Structure 1
């Protein structure tokens, strides 16, 4: 009887903890995730809408594809340079104030792009925008790790990062429509686009400062029991990561020399480059088939819509199977294979299918990948390590974006210009397999 009574009490306690966990995570998810998704949606629209602006700017200012490729890649140069300092500042000033401030600044820079009048001002504003946005993604990934236990991060990261394909799925027809305002109040269509798409970042940045919290302990909208459970769960996971990785003095150099950070950086180079290059160049590739700006916007949105759905489904699968390695590897392989097919098939329908498969791969990999980053990075270098990974990926994306423009200009072929992306996908896949298998072996010891 006593044993049965004890068993019953144990089941009740277990059931109570599960109910507390579900209630807590439901509140945290609905309070934090939608706002983060909207912020990143706006961030990515402001980052890649240059692809649609180029449809008019190239003819108005006589900018060639090589100039466009250079300008597009310059964003990533300053993005890389300022990623680590921005995340160090985030640790000093707190996520709420720092992320909100970044959003206001990049919104103002995006609006200021209406003043572009040639090659050099185009380059200058892309450099400024890269510096302003540099700390946002690594900052938010770090922010997610302060609120969500690792069992939830695959799906949460995928849902947050779904803003990337969604930005093009939603932003493509919006940007194409804003181009139709050409001539209104003496402004070109691309100027209206920058003006109206930059304003939301300013408003959302102010809202971030007013409504978001830095840590669970600051969340008065959670009950005391919920705050305690969440803090205990997160602290236990951080201790486990520290024991596995070994404690070292936190510094940028420590992060740069950490084997996990090195491997993750090489993997991210393949994950990010395909998505960024296609976001910037895809409108130009599609319009080269003789379509109007509006037709280009509609067709450009299709691959991103499909990638958005695939990204959510794949993130849930990653959490359900508690797997990050294979759920990052297979999408990477799909991207590389799809882009390789572009060497053979050249009709518009075939190109749209190829672009869709490549985008499904690159975006489906992002959720599991960033969940893997927060699990692999030691706690003492977590913020800096995430920023290093983001910075190295940005270097690769900048180089591949630049090379795409140069190769296309030299050969006249967009298919050959995709070769650097194929190489990065292959390298990332190999590094992921080696590092992932080694990591699993260490966890079993």
Structure 2
């Protein structure tokens, strides 16, 4: 009979694996999704605030695009140090610090008075939030076996389009509030939407568990199975000649740079949507609330596509084409958006873009864990995210500058489309240079 050192049969291990998966999905994923929901809302609510803020504080389209993108400069500079600190002190303490600090900076954004203060607060918001996203990706890799990682990442990252789907109507409604205590609608938007980040930052201290060995909410046999499974996967990675565990080695690994370039295009697309989509829809004469409702439609479709595509990637064990095809779809969507002349056309284009960008992300973020571990994973994931998120600066800033030069969105949207085409090309080149590892099988059937 096939038994392990604890006396469990293959059927026992399969049953334990199923129980552990259910507990991980219900205990970890909903909470980190909530954290990312609030994070993404605080990053992109500036797109709704801009409806009245830009005129109130004298921001041109170019100045708004620049300020919106400066978030990612602060993010870039502090991302790797922040993730290395998280690796040392644990996710619970560091994620709590990140959330409280970004909530306070987001609230302070209600009091910007001109371009200089707008630039400063956007930069500081990036500094405050640095380390959150790669920290959660690293955290998931400490809990989920490789075969389940893309789906876990997909559910976590689905919070971004969900945030757009729910946050857009919410932000649109807040932008219709009357002045209160001398505060305009855009100021109330910043203040109200900053509160959840501070509150959840405190909750994190009690809700997050740093590692499986500390998980008292797992039974002893479940905890032992999970620790053994993750340890066996780590040994398999270490036996691979391409494995990287040291921080400095990860920062010099060409595969890390390649993944950062791929992520650059998806970030340029994601934050172009976050900052400019409300204003693009608004141009067709809709109210702030109607704009929010229409902006929610592409995000709802994207959530479904993201989960389905990630499940297919995990089931097949294939990553490259699961990144390439969505990037090309998003590229085509941006080209379509640049030529849209009706509200229906722009919404369909935004659906295409949202589906492509969202579907690419989970398979992409499942790749680093196949060759990085330990401090190398902390540094490498942070580097991918920090360099990649510079696309979040380039995309929105280019849209603003080119709109000022040309009077329309077409040129800027075509530029963002080009970054996604580049992402697809780099993904294909990376697959030719590296052999995709065979993912360890986690069986749930008997």
Cα–Cα, structure 1 residues 249 and 379, in superposed 2: closer, same or farther, change >3 Å? closer
* Partner residue of 1:272 out of 244, 267, 274: 267
Deviations 1:26-47 (A, max 9, x none): 1122111110000000000000
The structure with more helix, counted as a fraction of residues: 1
C-alpha RMSD over aligned residues: 2.0
Deviations along 1:263-320, whole A, 9 cap, x unmatched?
A: 1111111122101111111001111122211111111111111111111111111112
Question: How far does the alpha carbon of each residue in 1:91-140 deviate from its partner, in whole angstroms, 9 at most, with x for none?
Answer: 12111100111101111111111211111111111111101111000000
CA contact (8 A) 2:244 2:372 kept: no
Matched, 1:417 2:417: no
Aligned to 2:37: 41
Q: Note if 1:341 corresponds to 2:336.
A: yes
Is 2:245–2:377's contact at 8 Å kept on the other side of the alignment? Answer: no
Give distance in 2, aligned partners of 1:291 and 1:273. Answer: 26
Indicate the SS of the match to 1:186: coil
CA distance in 1, matches of 2:296, 2:229: 40
CA–CA distance in 2 between the matches of 1:432 and 1:62?
41
Mapped contact 2:309–2:359 kept (Cα < 8 A)? yes
Deviations 1:59-109 (CA, angstroms, capped at 9, x unpaired): 212211111001101001001111101001101211110011110111111
CA distance in 2, matches of 1:322, 1:251: 27
Contact kept, 8 Å, 1:335 with 1:359, in 2: the verdict is yes
Indicate how the Cα distance of structure 1 residues 349 and 247 shifts in structure 2: closer, same or farther if over 3 A, else same: closer
Structure 1 gaps of 5+ residues are: 1-5
Equivalent residue pairs, number: 438
Secondary structure of 2:9's counterpart equals: helix
- Which moves more between the two structures, 333-342 or 166-175? 333-342
Residues 175-231 of structure 1 deviation map (CA, whole Å, 9 limit, x = unaligned): 011111131222111111111110001111111111211100011111111111111
- Give 1:247 shift: 6.0
Q: 1:83 aligns with which of 79, 83, 92?
A: 79
Distance 2:295 2:390 in 1: 25
Query: For 1:356-375, what aligned pairs fall within 5 Å after superposition?
Result: 356-375=351-370
Deviation at 1:442, TM superposition (A): 7.3
TM-score (structure 2 length as normaliser): 0.94
Do 1:245 and 1:378's aligned partners in 2 also have CA atoms closer than 8 Å? no
**Measured at CA, do residues 249 and 334 of structure 1 come closer, stay the same or move farther in structure 2, by a change above 3 Å?**
closer
2:304 is matched with 309
Q: Are the structure 2 counterparts of residues 8 and 160 from structure 1 closer, same or farther at C-alpha, using a change threshold of 3 Å?
A: closer
In the other structure, the counterpart of 2:14 is 18
Structure 2: which 5+ residue stretches go unaligned?
440-446
Alignment match, 1:225: 221
Name the CA distance, whole Å, in 1 between partners of 2:75 and 2:277: 21
For 1:41 and 1:345, how far apart are their aligned partners in 2? 29
Pick from 176, 180, 184 the counterpart of residue 180 of structure 1: 176
- 2 CA distance for matches of 1:413 and 1:167? 27
Residue correspondence of structure 1 range 124-163 to structure 2 within 5 A: 124-163=120-159
Q: Give TM-score scaled by structure 1 length.
A: 0.94
Match of 1:3 in 2: none
Q: 1:159 to 1:249 in 2, by over 3 A?
A: closer
Q: Which residue of 2 aligns with 1:213?
A: 209
Q: Which moved more, 1:366-375 or 1:156-165?
A: 366-375
